[in-house]
Amino acid sequence: MAQLFSLGHFTRMDISDIKTILAEQGLVMGVDVSGIYVHDGKLLRVIEDAQKEAVTMDVLLPASPTSDDLIPRLLIFEDVYGYQIFEGRVDGCPTILDLSVVEKLGNLGKWSRVRLDTNHGYRELCCTSVRVCDHEPVA
């Protein structure tokens, strides 16, 4: 329990109260992947940038949830640790089935364990953000 001094008396707060206050102030965001549609996308390559603590996935993603057209994109995961691959051997590039936040990590929820399900198995990593960027395909 944290104690705050307010106008001459103490107020007790537990960690959930502190998380709520920090989130309201925009100081704790957590990872949100709800706006990233990946189903039936293709994972082409993965680049780890150890210096920037980032993992970039070169992917083809659907233009929209109702489209069969795949567009070159980058999935960029920031402040990454613990990138693991749990996939079996299957010919061809993995087809992406889902992207989800599996677990919030730490007391303040800054990091999240994110899972990318594929037709080969799944991949997991811990990060503080995920974003999608347009890009030109690499030959």
pLDDT in tens, 30-69: 788 888 999 999 999 999 999 999 999 999 999 999 999 9
Give the model's pLDDT for residue 116.
96
Distance CA(41)–CA(20), nearest Å, equals 35
Specify whether the CB–CB gap between 102 and 31 falls below 8 A: no
Q: What is the mean pLDDT of the chain?
A: 84
Q: What phi and psi, each to the nearest 5 degrees, are found at residue 45?
A: -160, 160
Identity of residue 68 = D
Give the model's pLDDT for residue 29.
59
Residues sharing a CB contact under 8 Å with residue 5, sequence separation 6 or more, in sequence order: none
Distance CA(113)–CA(6), nearest Å, equals 36
Give the model's pLDDT for residue 93.
94
Give the model's pLDDT for residue 95.
96
Sheet containing 81-87: give its strands across: 81-87, 121-127, 111-118, 95-105, 41-49, 54-62, 70-78, 129-134
Distance CA(19)–CA(30), nearest Å, equals 11
Percent of the chain topping pLDDT 90: 60
**Given a cut of 90, is residue 136 above it in pLDDT?**
no
**Given a cut of 70, is residue 9 above it in pLDDT?**
no
pTM: 0.76
Q: How confident is the model at residue 1 (pLDDT cuts 50, 70, 90)?
A: very low
Give the model's pLDDT for residue 16.
59
Closest among 102, 50, 57, 108 to 79, alpha carbons compared: 50
Specify whether the CB–CB gap between 65 and 123 falls below 8 A: no
Q: What is the SS3 assignment for 23? A: helix
Closest among 67, 66, 82, 95 to 125, alpha carbons compared: 82
Q: Please give the residue that has the higher pLDDT: either 15 or 38.
A: 38
Average pLDDT over residues 73-89: 94
How many other CB atoms sit within 10 Å of the CB of residue 76?
19
Give the model's pLDDT for residue 101.
92
